[in-house]
Amino acid sequence: MKVAALLIADTTAVDVRIRGEALLTHALRGFGLSDHIDRVVVAAPPTAEPLVRTVSGCLLLPAGATRAESVRLAFEAAASCDVFLVHDAARAFVPPATIEAVIQAVCQGAEAVAPVLPVTDTVKLVGPDGVIAATEDRTRLRILQTPLGFAAKVLREACDAGLDPLSSPPGTVLPVPGHPNAIRLETPFDAAVAEALLREERDEESGRA
C-alpha cells in the first residue's frame, strides 16, 4: 500500500520556532523518519516555501481558504495513494512510533484511525446561565491528536462533502495510543514545554551513549 502524509500548516506552524527552527520543519523531520511514507504533501502559507524546499520529494501547495479546503487540495495531489495521514503541523513532535501505529492500523483494515490520550482533569458541563450543570464521565473522554489515518475512500468522501477531517474525523474511528509529545504548540508556555521535552530526550540519549 502507498502511504501519503498530508501536513496542514497554518501561520503558527510556520512562524513559531523551537531551537531556531519552525514547527513545520520539526514536523517534516519527524515524518521523514518513517520508512513507510511514500508521498509528503504540505498545504501551507507562501512563507513556508523556504522550509519545504529543503525536503526532497515534498510537494508544497498554497493553503486553502479553510482547513477543510487545504486537506482537499493536499488529498487531490496524492489521490493515487491508498492510505492517508492528515496531520496538524503545529503538532511538531509526534513520535515515529505513533505515526507507525496509525499507518499499521489503516493497513490492517481500519477505515479511520486517531491517536488519543485519556483525559486526566475533571471536566464540567456549563449550562447557558454560566453555572456548572454536570460532571462529565472522563473515563469515556479522550484528547484527539494527529496524524489521523484514513483509507482513501473515507477521506475522499469527506473531502467531497467539504468536511474538515481534523476536527470531525469521518468513518468509524479506531483509537490508538497517543503521546504527550504530540501536543499542539501555540503559546509561549507550549514552547517552554517542548523545549523541556527536547532537553530531557537529549539528556537521555547522552546517558545511553
CATH code at 58?
3.90.550.10
In this predicted model, what pLDDT tens digit does every residue of 165-193 receive, in sequence order? 999 999 999 999 999 999 999 888 888 88
In this predicted model, what pLDDT tens digit does every residue of 39-65 receive, in sequence order? 999 999 999 999 998 888 899 999 999
Read off the C-alpha cell for 80. Answer: 493515487
Does 134 fall in a domain?
no
Q: What's the pLDDT at 187?
A: 87
In this predicted model, what pLDDT tens digit does every residue of 145-164 receive, in sequence order? 999 999 999 999 999 999 99
Q: What's the pLDDT at 184?
A: 94
Q: What is the mean pLDDT of residues 127-136?
A: 93
Does 74 fall in a domain?
yes
Does 157 fall in a domain?
yes
pLDDT-above-70 percentage for the chain: 96
Does residue 102 have a pLDDT over 80? yes
Counted domains in the chain:
1
Q: Please state, in angstroms and rounded to a whole number, the distance separating the CA atoms of residues 68 and 96.
A: 25
Q: What's the pLDDT at 197?
A: 79
Does 151 fall in a domain?
yes
Q: Please state, in angstroms and rounded to a whole number, the distance separating the CA atoms of residues 78 and 184.
A: 25
Does 132 fall in a domain?
no
Q: What's the pLDDT at 41?
A: 97
Does 87 fall in a domain?
yes
**pTM as predicted:** 0.92
Does 121 fall in a domain?
no
Alpha helices in 62-177 (DSSP H): 67-77, 96-107, 152-160
Q: Whole domain around residue 70: which residue ranges?
A: 3-116+142-208
Does 196 fall in a domain?
yes
